[in-house]
Amino acid sequence: MWSVGSKPVDVYLGLAEGGLAVAGRPEGWAPHVDVESAAKHWFAHARSLVGRGLRRPGVRVWLSGALTRPFVWGPVQGLAGWREVELAAQAAAPDATGLAAPCAVSLDELPSAAAALVVAMEQHVVASIVAAANEAGVRVVSMRPWWALALERQAREAAGPIVIRDTDALTVLAASDDDVWRLAHSYVPPPSEDQTPSLLDRLFLSANLERGAARHVALTRDDWPGITARLEEAAA
């Protein structure tokens, strides 16, 4: 895990709100108009809090389910090498997620034998966050979906679907008993608490999954650093 001295710096970025935490303690939370301006604001704030050394402070960026959307892709035959796989996944991402092209994608495995999970993000959002970090004088040591952290804990504890609600999306992930991805989708905007059960009923029924086995994780703005820290401890 990265830290400045003993103080990890976390920045959460959603579509419309974000926050900063240093060493697990919230340092601010605010709505924003666009991701780039929010990134500049929180990076500059982080720099002012911990960036007094010669080395640029590192920042972990956690992204909401609206910015980083998963989808199940494949199996796809005939792709030669990772470069072709990435190009094909980039082409498939806008239709599968609703993001605007061009997209940056991340895959952990080739989709040749079984379906793979692809995480997509709009390329201009990635570029704007990196540019904001350079401008503020901080280093982006990681830029990950917050729901992936919640998934890590679930991966260690039990099988079955997981439903993750963050500030602007409801992300649902499910895999079969033999670890083949069956379901991965981010609902943006997230359904209300009232609508969620019926949505999950329909979703799990269509995917032939049991709704009752699903685990729920939620990110709350008041305790997001604490939840993040607890998830990290559980996943470690």
Partner 1 sequence: MKRVRADFAPRRRPSRALWLALAVLAAGAFTAVAFVAYRFEELAQQRAALESAAAERRVAATVVPTKPPAPPPYERSAREMLAEHRMAWPQVLTALEATALVGVTPMSVEMAASDGVARVEVSFTDHARLLEYLEALNAGQGDLRWVLVQAQTQPAGGSVAVLHARMSKQ
* The one-letter amino acid at 70: P
Q: Give the number of residues written for the chain.
A: 236
Q: Which stretch binds partner 1 (CB under 8 A): 81-89, 171-179, 202-210, 220-228?
A: 171-179
Of the pair 144, 211, the CB lying nearest partner 1 is at 144
x/- track of binding to partner 1 for residues 213-232 (CB under 8 A): --------------------
Determine contact, residues 62/231, Cβ cutoff 8 Å. Answer: no
For residues 119 and 114, what is the distance between their CA atoms, to the nearest angstrom?
16
Binds partner 1 (CB under 8 A): choice among 170, 175, 203, 231: 175
**β-sheet bridge partners, residue 127:** none
> Does residue 39 belong to the site contacting partner 1 (CB under 8 A)?
no
Contact status: 173 vs partner 1 (CB under 8 A): yes
Q: What are phi and psi of 173, to 5 degrees?
A: -135, 140
Name the residue nearer to partner 1 (CB basis): 142 or 195.
142
Q: Is 139:58 a contact under the CB 8 Å cutoff? A: yes
> Residue from 4, 85, 96, 148 that binds partner 1 (CB under 8 A)?
148
Calpha distance 36→158 (Å, rounded): 37
Which helix (H) or strand (E) covers residue 227, if one does? helix 224-235
Q: Which helix (H) or strand (E) holds 215?
A: strand 215-218
Shortest Å distance, C-beta 34 to partner 1: 17
d(CA 209, CA 195): 19
Q: Which range of residues in 6-14, 93-101, 175-183, 204-212 is near partner 1 by CB under 8 A?
A: 175-183
Q: Among 4, 92, 126, 209, indicate the residue that binds partner 1 (CB under 8 A).
A: 126
The answer to the question of residue 110 lying near partner 1 (CB under 8 A) is: no
Kindly list the residues in this chain that would bind partner 1 in the complex (CB under 8 A): 61, 63, 68, 70, 104, 106, 108, 117, 119, 121, 126, 130, 140-145, 148, 151-152, 154-155, 159-160, 162, 173-175, 179, 181
